[in-house]
Amino acid sequence: MPVRRFGGHRSLVSQYQSPKLSYGYTKMNIARGGYRVFSANSSTACTELAQKITERLGVELGKSVVYQESDSETRVDVKESVRGQDIFIIQTIPRDVNTAVMELLVMAYALKTSCAKNIIGVIPYFPYSKQCKMRKRGSIVCKLLASMLAKAGLTHIITMDLHQKEIQGFFNFPVDNLRASPFLIQYIQEEIPNYRNAVIVAKSPSAAKRAQSYAERLRLGLAVIHGEAHHSESDMADGRHSPPLSRAITGHTGLELPSSSRQVPFPGIELPMMMAKEKPPISVVGDVGGRIAIIVDDIIDDVEDFVAAAEILKERGAYKIYVMATHGLLSAEAPRLIEESAIDEVVVTNTVPHEVQKLQCPKIKTVDVSMILAEAIRRIHNGESMAYLFRNIAMDD
């Protein structure tokens, strides 16, 4: 019987292949193992990644139908038996995030009530990951979503480059946070001419650790852009860090309040003046003159920050500018802004469908990460260690 083997670049195969393991599997052997792979979305754009993963594993995509009723309710019909098996649900997140979340929840619950042994969610881009901190009177929505997934029946999650690694603590079951950096680094080495003359750039101080990890592995220099015009996430992460400019209480004012709202006075207490933050003028720490600038980040969504960073790098002498990110959300007018900007190329992975954006902007390139997702599925089902997939990965990556 012919054996299907993993495709892709030879260097990537050798990177993730253990000397004692082979990537060739027959459909007969996998069927005996007792696992199925389903897609939680029936649209062509969202099933593309699922098709690539199943092709690498040598299995067929599970038979199911996911659709919206006339009243926009989500319905899932599983067309084959899953009793006693390990079930992997692949869900990529399109523009309609809330519908994608409901599809995942409904499918997980349908598989749970169909007596699946384990239900593992393969969610390359985890939605609501930006809402993982308390913002004044808001809520930590990412924690809410983690609780909903557990309640629906998920027992494990495979994801990639969480916006904050601390998100793993929101779950009461295992979370494998894979990294896309080996694939992006390989793209730099193979597709960027004269990359040895490049410098890795962090578009903000908060992204400096990630940029430093790339720079150290590529043996390149590092530059940091400081002084953005907008407020960063850390500035508005918690209302307790944004008190009024001044608040002085010197004793009882004599104003009589209703007993229900009267506060206990604190005579003689005067709070110090709270100075407002003021960002310095935008500047670049590091030399980019006459070099290739490679900006790295985990998410590229609204591209105004990247466009502004590209402009300042051009002014400082960089002759070519690349943007590398794991998740290419590319919302709103992102393709048009990229096309009109000083950015020469935007490289993202296929964790999020973005074929429409690529048609609108030829500067957008895609790196396939289905190989590592397929290998993670194989190792989890066989009970093998996942440590091999994290070789040479820094904590700050």
Q: What is the pLDDT of residues 69-78, one digit of tens each?
A: 999 899 999 9
CATH class, 182-229+282-367 region: alpha beta
Sheet containing strand 320-328, edge to edge, reads 283-285, 221-226, 198-202, 292-300, 320-328, 345-349, 364-367
Beta strands 74-78 and 64-68, pairing class: antiparallel
* pLDDT, position 228: 59
CA atoms lying within 13 Å on the CB side of residue 109: 13
Closest CA to 68 of 103, 93, 110, 97: 103
Residue 11 has pLDDT above 80, yes or no: no
Q: For the chain, how many helices (H) and strands (E)?
A: 11, 14
CA distance 380 to 158: 10
**For strand 118-123 and strand 86-90, is the pairing parallel, antiparallel, or unpaired?**
parallel
**Cα separation of 281 and 30, whole Å?**
59
What does the alpha-carbon distance between residue 377 and residue 14 come to, in Å, rounded to a whole number?
18
**Residues 228-278: tens digit of each pLDDT:** 554 444 444 444 444 444 444 444 444 455 555 555 556 667 778 777 777
Alpha-carbon distance of 236 to 177, in angstroms, equals 26
For 304-343, what is each residue's pLDDT tens digit? 999 999 999 999 999 999 999 999 999 889 999 999 999 9
> Considering only the top CATH level, what class is 35-178?
alpha beta
Indicate the SS3 state at residue 143.
helix
User: What's the pLDDT tens digit per position in 196-217?
Assistant: 999 999 998 989 999 999 999 9
The answer to whether the CB of 271 falls within 8 A of the CB of 212 is no
What is the C-alpha separation between 307 and 282, in angstroms, rounded?
14
pLDDT of residue 34: 87
| Furthest-apart CA atoms within the chain: distance in Å | 92
Q: Is 63 or 7 the better-scoring residue by pLDDT?
A: 63
**DSSP secondary structure of 59-127:** -PPP-EEEEE-TTS-EEEEE-S--TTSEEEEE----S-HHHHHHHHHHHHHHHHHTT-SEEEEEESS-T
Q: Smallest Cα–Cα separation from 89: which of 130, 50, 126? A: 50
Greater model confidence, 280 or 296: 296
- Average pLDDT, stretch 105-122? 96
Single out the residue of 144, 393, 184 nearest to residue 298, CA to CA: 184
Q: Is the dihedral of CA 53, 56, 61, 62 positive or negative?
A: negative
Position 344 scores a pLDDT of 97
Q: List, in order, residues 6 or more apart from 306 with CB less than 8 Å away.
A: 203, 295, 297, 300, 323, 338, 341, 343, 346
- Distance (Å, rounded) from C-alpha 101 to C-alpha 139? 18
In angstroms, the CA 134 to CA 389 distance is: 32
CA gap 347, 140 in Å, rounded: 30
Portions of the chain given CATH number 3.40.50.2020: 35-178, 182-229+282-367
- Whether the pLDDT of residue 92 is over 80: the answer is yes
CB 176 within 8 A of CB 158: yes
Report the share of the chain in percent with pLDDT over 70. Answer: 81
Q: For residues 215 and 204, give the distance between their C-alpha atoms in angstroms, rounded to a whole number.
A: 15
d(CA 292, CA 71): 52
How many other β-carbons are positioned within 10 Å of the β-carbon of residue 105?
A: 22
Quote the mean pLDDT of the chain.
Answer: 84
pLDDT band at 23 (very low <50, low <70, confident <90, very high): very low
Residue 122, pLDDT score: 97
